[in-house]
Amino acid sequence: MTSAATDEPQPLPDYAPVPDLALGPALNDHGFYVGRVQRNLFWVTDGTYQCAFLATRDGVALFDAPPTIGHNLRRAVDEITAAEGVPNTVTHLVYSHHHADHAGAADLFGDDVVRIGHVETRRLLLRDNDPTRPAPEVTFEDRYTLQVGGERVELAFHGPNHSPDNIFIHFPDHDALMLIDIVNIGWVPIYNLNLSEDVPGYLDAPAQALSYPWTHYIGGHLGRLGTRDDIALHQRYIADIVDSCRAALGSVDPTPYFVRYGANVWAAVGGYLDAVTAKAAAPIIAQYTGVLAAADVPAFTTSTTFTILQSMRLDLGAGSQVHP
Ligand SMILES: [Zn+2]
């Protein structure tokens, strides 16, 4: 069914300006930026996605291959390896996790690439059967040390978080940590806590990241690298949401919703949980607008608050009452 009313464009809302601290370096004419993290570790961004590579004497080891960067990855590798006087052949590709938005250009580097990932990444990629993301042949359960061109990279799995297979990629000799889709540096998480599957695992991941020694953080999103202070700011945002959820759970009375909707218990549950979520999210949006970019985009802080609230109820038992 169509009508003039439903087809009418709605006015788009205004939001607070993006804080300067949320922005990264300018992109080149191809639409990417490539920069040195430390020594021969480099990072690439298109302003929204990030990945990294080591330019070694024996070839290039790539860490993720987001399709939005796509063929610009080759351009970035060629530019850097020419300047550094090292071979531009991509010999290794490490998957941070199986998601297509970080791995969908993995097929651009030929069949001779050694692909490395968690065992669960292999299982999920075999399941997904996507030709742009060939399953890794080299897998590990807990830890794996990648040695390439005289460099060392430590891969570790600390349990599910954003995805069931998301790994920590530590560059001990480059003072860097790569951990994707946990902290969006300078920005709030997108919908539902960065679309995370294991909420307690997601909430623990920043502290696990801080337990490693590093100065440079490659988070996988937006325009710049992170610092330890950026992780701490993200932790405060999340901790404030948890506190606000607890307060809202203790202060919103479900009774009027059940009285009003009677036999339609789902209407009552929906009305009550929406009210708790709105009450919990409101002070967070007010507090973090202008501090973290897009804190005032309601779909993000509100859906993240809803996700945390549900985990507190279902994983931790918060607000549940035993029938007398
Ligand atoms: Zn992901």
Q: Does residue 56 sit in helix, strand or coil?
A: strand
One pLDDT digit (tens) per residue for the chain, 324 residues: 445 556 788 899 999 999 999 999 999 999 999 999 999 999 999 999 999 999 999 999 999 999 999 999 999 999 999 999 999 999 999 999 999 999 999 999 988 999 999 999 999 999 999 999 999 999 999 999 999 999 999 999 999 999 999 999 999 999 999 999 999 999 999 999 999 999 999 999 999 999 999 999 999 999 999 999 999 999 999 999 999 999 999 999 999 999 999 999 999 999 999 999 999 999 999 999 999 999 999 889 999 999 999 999 888 888 777 778
Return the amino acid letter for 55: A
Distance 121 CA to ligand 1 centre (A): 12
Distance 102 CA to ligand 1 centre (A): 7
Distance 99 CA to ligand 1 centre (A): 5
The rounded distance, in Å, linking the Cα atoms of 180 and 40 is 20
Domain with CATH 3.60.15.10 in the chain: 20-226
The rounded distance, in Å, linking the Cα atoms of 138 and 94 is 9
Residue 159: DSSP 8-state: S
Strands 33-38, 41-45: parallel, antiparallel or unpaired by DSSP? antiparallel
The rounded distance, in Å, linking the Cα atoms of 99 and 115 is 15
Pick the CATH number of 20-226 from 3.60.15.10, 3.90.660.20, 3.40.640.10, 3.20.20.70: 3.60.15.10
Q: At CA 194, angle to CA 169 and CA 144, rounded to 5? A: 15
Residue 82's Cβ-count burial label (10 Å; 0-12, 13-18, 19+) is exposed
Overall pTM surpassing 0.85 (yes/no) = yes
Distance 219 CA to ligand 1 centre (A): 11
Residue 179: closest CA among 21, 51, 35, 73: 51
- The enclosing H or E element of 168 equals strand 168-171
State residue 6's pLDDT score: 65
Q: Does residue 306 sit in helix, strand or coil?
A: helix
Distance 222 CA to ligand 1 centre (A): 14
Distance 162 CA to ligand 1 centre (A): 7
